[in-house]
């Protein structure tokens, strides 16, 4: 069932992306020949007016075919003026940019709605993992105020909790880190319980699923009550964070550590499969991130990506005359090689993660 939901989610993002191109092309008077989900041999199609709608056999992407995007395209008599390259530069940019724009707006919309009902984590103990070290020494409602004497004042509750987790994880098992082994040294948790502050010493346990030792409890939450303005700000912050990290990774692909951050469809699918198990909010958050990433990557300025078409339209505007098609064709061949390289880089990283310790979603 999870894989069906993943397939439907990815298909929805593709359809909405191509729908952006389609409706923008129709609105600007261009002639749209085809609107297809997936590539390759046609499985099923239906023609409505001048446009053929269909599904192809290879489940990887989709496309909208606009008349006149290739020099050999022949438009019906009297329709020549509706060809892509017969349009002014601004119309072409609007049509090409509409696909990524839909993905980015969709991501913002999902994150905005989720932020309206968001809860913020607090430092109180929520649920205890049965059989864990925490189960014998902590109680729900205990407030963790320090770990190994470190309070991390000045940070947000979320950042403090992250630091607490890192501090717990610094306590390692003697020898090889095996799933279920106890740390050689105890961690000291300073907790507030019933108005009293006390130090509790416990040896954390190594958990292979997260790749470190942990005590074995989850933190509690409380409603964020952000309001419309706060929800919009939180969604915008998330958009900016993902955007900046995406650009940073791809701008530093020659850095071996940054290359490891690139993930492909296999890894994304595996993460999605795990995320769905965590609930609707986690799944929708991932859908928003994937939609945003799809929009951002498509804006990279090389063909055959949307950003490549926008780039050459801007070059045409700057030079005052059309760019020779053969020049764009050569640039497109180079861009295609780059896309394939990124695909195999992501696939290689995915295989490495899947055959190692996984993606650690939980």
Q: How confident is the model over 166-175, as pLDDT tens digits?
A: 999 999 999 8
Share of residues in the chain with pLDDT > 70 (%): 84
Q: Cα 126 from chain centroid? A: 28
Confidence of residue 260 (pLDDT cuts 50, 70, 90): low
Q: Is there a single domain that holds both residue 190 and residue 296? A: no
Q: Is residue 71 one of the residues assigned to a domain?
A: no
In a domain, 111, yes or no: yes
Same domain, 113 and 243: yes
Together in a domain, 230 and 211 = no
- Please say if the pLDDT value at position 292 is more than 70: yes
pLDDT of residue 350 exceeding 50: no
Classify strands 187-193 and 196-202 as parallel, antiparallel or unpaired: antiparallel
Distances (CA, A) of 9 to 98, 198, 202, 267, 279: 20, 48, 43, 15, 15
User: pTM for the whole thing?
Assistant: 0.76
Q: Are residues 209 and 351 in the same domain?
A: no
User: Which residues on neighbouring strands pair with residue 69, listed in sequence order?
Assistant: none
Q: Do both 110 and 159 map to the same domain?
A: no
- Among the residue ranges 75-84, 204-213, 281-290, the one predicted with the least confidence is 281-290
Tens digits of per-residue pLDDT, 143-187? 999 999 999 988 888 899 999 999 999 999 998 999 999 999 999
| Beta-carbon contacts of residue 200 (< 8 Å; ≥ 6 apart) | 137, 138, 188, 189, 190, 191
d(CA 90, CA 74): 23
Does the residue 16 lie in any domain?
A: no
Using alpha carbons, list the distances in angstroms from residue 134 to 138, 140, 286. Answer: 5, 10, 30
**Among 232-241, 260-269, 308-317, where is mean pLDDT lowest?**
260-269
Whole-number Å distance between alpha carbons of 106 and 15: 12
State the Cα–Cα distance between residues 346 and 355, nearest whole angstrom: 14
Residues 212 and 307 in one domain: no
Same domain, residue pair 253 and 361 = yes
Residue 257 has pLDDT above 80, yes or no: no
Q: Are residues 141 and 103 in the same domain?
A: no
pLDDT classification of 243: cutoffs 50, 70, 90: confident
Question: In terms of Cα–Cα distance, which of 272, 275, 270, 286 is closest to 351?
Answer: 270
Chain length of the chain: 362
Whether the per-residue pLDDT at 48 is higher than 70: the answer is yes
CA 208 – CA 111 distance, rounded (Å): 30
Q: Which of residues 173, 195, 223 is at a domain's end?
A: 223
- Between CA 269 and CA 262 the distance in angstroms is 14
pLDDT digits (tens, 9 = 90+) for 98-119: 999 999 999 999 999 999 988 8
Distance CA 36, CA 39 (A): 8
Judge if 231 and 352 occupy the same domain: yes
In this structure, is the dihedral angle defined by the CA atoms of residues 115, 117, 122 and 126, taken in order, positive or negative? negative
Range of the domain at 189: 120-223
Answer whether residue 41 is part of any domain: no
Cα distance between residue 173 and residue 204, in whole Å: 9
What is the rounded average pLDDT of the residues 71-76?
A: 84
Number of domains, the chain? 2
Task: Please check the confidence at residue 128 and state whether its pLDDT lies above 50.
Answer: yes
Q: Name the pairing type of β-strands 205-207 and 212-214.
A: antiparallel
Q: Tell me: pLDDT of 264 over 80.
A: no
Statement to judge: residues 243 and 314 lie in one domain: yes
- Return the number of other C-beta atoms located less than 10 Å from residue 252's C-beta: 13
Average pLDDT, the chain: 85
Q: Is 147 part of a structural domain of the chain?
A: yes
**Band of residue 140 on the pLDDT scale cut at 50, 70, 90:** very high
Mean pLDDT of 25-43: 93
Say how far apart CA 308 and CA 143 lie, in whole Å.
53
pLDDT at 224 over 70: yes
Q: Which among 190, 223, 256 is the end of a domain?
A: 223
Instruction: Say whether pLDDT at 358 is over 60.
Output: no
Residues 183 and 137 placed together within one structural domain of the fold: yes
Instruction: With a cut of 60, say whether residue 356 has pLDDT above it.
Output: no
Q: Is residue 67 a part of any domain in this protein?
A: no
For residue 196, the cross-strand partners are: 193
Residue 266 forms part of a structural domain: yes
Tell whether 113 and 247 lie within a shared domain.
Answer: yes
**DSSP designation for 150:** B
CATH number of the structural domain spanning residue 207: 2.30.42.10
Q: Give a yes or no: residue 170 inside a domain.
A: yes
Q: Identify whether the C-beta of residue 103 lies closer than 8 Å to the C-beta of residue 295.
A: yes
Burial degree of 25 (CB within 10 A; 0-12, 13-18, 19+):
buried
Distance CA 239, CA 298 (A): 16
Domain boundary residue among 223, 243, 261?
223
């Amino acid at each position: 069932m999870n894989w069906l939901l993943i397939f439907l989610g990815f298909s929805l993002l593709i359809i909405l992306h191509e729908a952006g191109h389609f409706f923008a092309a129709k609105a600007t008077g261009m002639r749209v020949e085809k609107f297809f989900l997936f590539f390759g041999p046609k499985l099923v199609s239906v023609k409505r007016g001048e446009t053929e709608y269909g599904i192809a056999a290879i489940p990887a992407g989709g496309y909208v075919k606009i008349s006149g995007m290739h020099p050999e395209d022949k438009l019906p008599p009297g329709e020549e003026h509706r060809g892509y390259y017969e349009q002014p530069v601004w119309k072409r940019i609007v049509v090409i940019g509409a696909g990524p724009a839909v993905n980015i707006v969709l991501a913002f919309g999902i994150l905005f709605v989720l932020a309206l009902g968001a809860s913020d984590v607090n430092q109180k103990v929520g649920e205890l993992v049965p059989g864990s070290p925490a189960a014998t020494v902590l109680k729900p409602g205990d407030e963790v105020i320090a770990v190994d004497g470190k309070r991390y004042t000045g940070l947000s509750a979320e950042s403090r909790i992250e630091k607490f987790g890192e501090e717990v994880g610094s306590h390692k098992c003697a020898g090889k880190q095996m799933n279920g082994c106890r740390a050689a040294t105890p961690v000291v948790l300073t907790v507030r319980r019933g108005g009293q502050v006390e130090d509790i010493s416990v040896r954390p346990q190594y958990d292979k699923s997260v790749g470190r030792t942990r005590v074995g409890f989850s933190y509690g939450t409380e409603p964020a009550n952000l309001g419309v303005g706060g929800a919009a700000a939180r969604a915008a912050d998330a958009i900016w964070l993902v955007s900046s990290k995406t650009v940073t990774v791809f701008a530093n692909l020659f850095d071996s550590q940054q290359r490891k951050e690139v993930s492909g469809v296999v890894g994304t699918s595996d993460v999605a499969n795990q995320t769905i198990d965590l609930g609707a909010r986690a799944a929708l958050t991932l859908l928003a991130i994937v939609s945003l990433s799809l929009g951002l990557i498509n804006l990279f300025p090389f063909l055959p990506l949307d950003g490549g078409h926008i780039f050459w339209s801007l070059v045409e505007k700057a030079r005052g005359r059309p760019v020779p098609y053969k020049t764009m064709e050569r640039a497109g061949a180079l861009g295609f090689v780059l896309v394939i390289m990124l695909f195999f880089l992501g696939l290689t990283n995915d295989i490495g993660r899947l055959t190692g310790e996984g993606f650690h979603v939980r």
